[in-house]
Chain A
Amino acid sequence: MAEMPKAQRDQIFSEWLEAHKAILFKVARAYGASHADREDLFQQIALHLWNSVEAFRGESAVTTWIYQVALNTALAWNRKERKHGRGRQELEAATGLLIASAERDPRLEWIYQRLAELDEVNRSLALLMLDGFSYRDMSQILGLSESNVGVRINRIKAKLSAQLAQESNDEL
């Protein structure tokens, strides 16, 4: 098959990034412990996404594809970072690639904190669940069986519900 012209690839990548950048932010935020980590991960996802443009055949929705690329990158990145023991300090290597919004919703921060408590795979599933993906899509993205996805999602929901209930009680 002929190689996709560079200009066309660039354009598709720009369109994807513009329309679906929120996915990249969510994954980077969920897997990166510090702002510098998130910038690094966001960069990696963008790189992999750009490289993946040519491989996209339209057999799944673009959002499913982007999530797949983003989560695969995040999981690989996470393992590599842990293997090399590279914990970045908050101010150590921030590059200014991502400019954090001035207003922070504490409820959103709470959700991300709960996500950080989950293991890598369940964190991916939780992200997909929160974004309304079907079990089928989740199984396709993560390579798990649908029944496995179902079991895990139920546990995640139960855990989150319990934490929400606890949070509500504490507020009272």
Chain B
Amino acid sequence: MNFDQMIETWRTQDRVPLYGVNRDLLRLGVPREQTDLQRALGREVWGVYWAALGTSIAWLGVVFGLLFAGVSWGDIVPSVWDYVAVGIAIVTMLLSAGAYRVSRKRQALYERSFGSSLREELQRNLSRVDYQLSRYGAVARLLMYAPMGVAGILTCWAFGFRLGGKPFGWLQAAACIAFIAPWWVVWSLWFKRRLLEYRHQFSQLLELLNPPE
């Protein structure tokens, strides 16, 4: 073979490619497939932050509304306990959001330990999904949401009690739970189902990447 023949040999690859490509596997490796998961998780993260901020603002609104109503239509003078109840509610909410942020940062550090091959990319995604799923466990939910829930119910109860007396306070607390709980349960179940679908998909792909026996 001389130099010209070598060049000619080299260029045969343009006519007869060295390989065929398994397009399904390639498609799964290209980030298009991962973008949806990233977006879903991103929405979840911002959902928690906005919920913390929004609920804090809403509680403040309720406080001012009730104070205004009390002052305008009754002889209610706000006590220090009213402020304490609201303060606890807001601080607890913000602390929960902060704890979530710290926990996510730790998870992000862990995710960085994976490399950039297709296999490691899938393992990273799987770890991300598992992390999110772990937040839907009973203990995690109790730690994350119970303080907020209790604080919220206390706020409703305190103002209901001050406005309308004991029975009205309990009714208002129950109304709070009845209004918030179904939304939260429906959303949680929907998001958990999506996470489980992603988990199944990534696990299948990892299986596919294992060498044949």
Chain A residues within CB distance 8 Å of chain B: 6, 10, 13, 17, 21-22, 25-26, 29, 40, 42-44, 46-47, 50-51, 80, 84, 86, 91-101, 105, 107-108, 110-111, 130-132, 157, 160-161, 164, 167-168
Contacts and interface: CB of A to CB of B under 8 A. Distances in A.
Main secondary structure of the interface of B (DSSP, over half): helix
Given A97-B21, A160-B6, 4 more contacts: A29-B18, A47-B31, A96-B25, A105-B12
A100 B26 CA distance: 15
Nearest to B117: A40
B47 interface: no
23 contacts: A13-B30, A22-B13, A40-B117, A40-B118, A42-B21, A43-B26, A46-B29, A47-B30, A50-B32, A80-B116, A93-B211, A94-B211, A97-B22, A97-B29, A98-B21, A105-B9, A105-B12, A130-B7, A130-B10, A131-B10, A131-B11, A160-B3, A168-B2
Contact of B119 (A93, A105, A130): A93
B1 interface: yes
Contact of A161 (B3, B25, B117): B3
Contacts of B137: none
Interface residues of B, number: 34
Interface in B95-137: 115-119
Residue among B13, B18, B211 having the largest count of chain A Cβ atoms under 10 Å: B18
* Chain A residues touching B, majority SS: helix
A51 B29 CA distance: 12
B2 A111 contact: no
Contacts of B167: none
A94 B7 CA distance: 30
A75 to B, nearest CB: 14
A10 B211 contact: no
A25 B17 contact: yes
Contacts of B115: 80, 84, 86
Interface string B39-79: 00000000000000000000000000000000000000000
